[in-house]
Amino acid sequence: MTLAETSLLEDPDCRVEPIDAPVRERGGARDVIVAIPADFRLASGEKLNQPNVVGRIHGRAGAPVVVVAGGISAGRFVHRTETNGLGWWSGAVSVRGPIDLSRYQVLAVDFAPGAEFLDQPVTITTQDQARLLGLVLNHQKIERVSAFVGCSYGGMVGLAFAELYPDWAEQLIVVSAAHRAHPQATAWRGIQRRILQFAVDAGRPEEGVALARELAMTTYRTAEEFNDRFETTAPDAVGGAYPICEYLTARGEAYRTHTTPARWLSMSDSLDRHSVTPEKITTPVTLIGFTSDRLVPIDDIRELAARLPTLWRFVEAPSLYGHDAFLKEDAFVGDILRTAFKDIKQ
């Protein structure tokens, strides 16, 4: 396999467009720009140094609204259009897809903090992200969403949203996320943050972002996938790159333009700060977990399922792709989404 053949889904499109109007029409989707109130504070007491939350609405105007949220690199560009190219989850969100844009409106937002407004890391929680989403929903006068579908970090935000706002969503669908961060995942991310901080202190921040991303990629996927994809051929001399290292280097280099050290540190810490009380969630919940996921071990999702008072369904399955299975197992995840969405009233 060549480096050019690696999936674009490993680096979701999270561009931030220039903000010059409250709502703009682009290729069947529209951006929604919502001012953050001057008195808005994060749970830490810090103030976000950005003026707006930016969302994007896809789909048929007037249709039931579905909120979709993804990993820390995802954002409002959830569906492919002629203006933003490949959406980060076009395999699920499309016309006649599992989340059918001919039947629903899909709202996705850019997670805070925005890289262009951030000089230093901020302490931000999944509950903070849920409150910012609430600003967008209130701005759009959306009193009820038909579903909140969250994957990875977005699943954490979905759980926080359901805990804070029990009546705002008719159902919650959580993929590859649990009620807490597992200590092993925190250990891996903690090393990534220290690598990045070391690079920043050394005056090489972009290299630090790339190297931290390389290490992160080894936690997203499985040993079985790497064994199938890469030979163990040694380079000619010490210091040379093995095939797996060439792949990781390419992924790190591609990611350098997607974020900044301050934003990456903030979002990575937010993953580890995540915590909700499952017993407080009264929204009906569908859980999807993968037994090969090392970042969100299946035992944590099983515990979440056991503690939720309104669990609708819990589906677990093996996958070659580990934590990234929600981006790769389109047919499997799509079937579960279609089943969940059959209950939504049009």
- Residues serving a catalytic function are 152, 293, 323
The residues facing 275 across adjacent strands are: 180
> Could you count the other beta carbons within 10 Å of the beta carbon of residue 217?
19
Do 65 and 264 meet the contact criterion of CB atoms below 8 Å apart? no
